[in-house]
Amino acid sequence: MTGKPKFAMYWAASCGGCEIATLNMHEKILDFDANFKVVFWPVAMDAKYKDVEAMEDGEILVTLFNGGIRNSENEHIAKLLRKKSQILVSFGSCAIEGGIPGLANLTEMHHFFDTVYTTVSTDNTNNHRPQVEYDMPEGKITIPEFKPVLQTLDQVVDVDYYMPGCPPETHQIAAVIDVLISVVKGEAVLPPKGSFLGVGNSTVCDECGRTRNLKKITEFKRIQDIKKIDPDLCLIEQGILCNGPATASGCESKCPSVNAPCAGCYGPAIGVKDFGARMITAIASVIDAEDPDEIERIMDGIIDPAGTFYRFGLANSMMRTGKASWNGK
């Protein structure tokens, strides 16, 4: 026996929630450990990039990669892990769609450096900015270079599978791990390349228990402005912008079941190219008004359209904000 198949998990531009959701599988981790040898997982254990660099190509069986590609380090590791892994899984919203960090693609790079380094809350009187290279007496030191836009993993490297969610639900991760174990044991075969794993066929509404009627929206409300949310009626019908109709199922409708609108973290339903565009056309279709001024008034109730409809998917949207400047530098 040449030893257990090797496993890696990496975080690029992400928050760490994906690893917590993975570690949250409790005793399932024992199954996991019995079947895999973890070779690289910065959150869970110490490892060095050079150890990975020293591996044979394809030495790692499976890598779960979360986070978007925000800087040159993220890109380097994405390419490295691609080379060293037989199966590369784009794991979680940020890796697949850009996620929350991807919203920065709405802004030019110098603008958000201004925000970070010169706003009043920052003590930076000499207006220092990060530099990629700096000459020290001991020699030149470098930090990763910030990219003009955040890219998704599959915009940078070839990806085998996708596992959406912010984070992916633990029970879905556990189920996928089970499938992987079966595949390793030769009891199952891998799904076709490009498949989405740990996700349902339909959308969140399919798993939502709320009553649904014909939708006629005359006003959008934010949940904090509603005295009492009807626990049994579709949130959209109550004027709350819920992304459930457009969001892939798989989470068991977690947010709507506790009176919170679906944020859309599971991304678009399978086959849909642009989550935000889908949601916008859907919402526009059910606005109950003919008069342009009235329509305008209703639409004004959508306080943050980009943040609502493209909260997770901006970097992977058809607009791919910033793509041109990315190519042209």
- Positions touching other proteins (CB under 8 A) are 96, 154, 162, 194, 201-206, 212-216, 234, 244-246, 249, 268-273, 278-279, 281-282, 285-286, 316
Query: To the nearest 5 percent, what fractions of the chain are helix, strand and coil?
Result: 40, 15, 45
In 3D space, the residue among 76, 101, 56 whose CA is nearest the CA of residue 10 turns out to be 76
Nearer Cβ to other proteins, position 118 or 201?
201
**Cβ distance 38 to 7 under 8 Å?**
yes
Nearer Cβ to other proteins, position 80 or 246?
246
Written as one letter, the residue type at 173 is I
Nearer Cβ to other proteins, position 118 or 211?
211
H helix or E strand, kind and range, residue 86: strand 85-91
Minimum distance from residue 208 beta carbon to other proteins (Å)? 8
**Strand-pair partners of 211:** 233
Those residues whose C-beta lies under 8 Å from the C-beta of residue 197, and which sit 6 or more positions away, are 89, 161, 162, 163, 172, 176, 179, 191
Q: What are phi and psi of 14, to 5 degrees?
A: -155, 180
Nearer Cβ to other proteins, position 14 or 317?
317
Nearer Cβ to other proteins, position 23 or 270?
270
- Cβ density class 228-237: b for 16+ within 10 Å, e for less: eeeeeebbbb
Minimum distance from residue 189 beta carbon to other proteins (Å)? 20
**Cβ distance 299 to 287 under 8 Å?**
yes
DSSP reduced 3-state for 200 = coil
Minimum distance from residue 168 beta carbon to other proteins (Å)? 17
Nearer Cβ to other proteins, position 52 or 208?
208
Minimum distance from residue 207 beta carbon to other proteins (Å)? 8
Minimum distance from residue 90 beta carbon to other proteins (Å)? 9
Minimum distance from residue 278 beta carbon to other proteins (Å)? 5
Nearer Cβ to other proteins, position 34 or 318?
318
Minimum distance from residue 54 beta carbon to other proteins (Å)? 32
DSSP annotation of 165 reads S
**Cβ distance 272 to 278 under 8 Å?**
yes
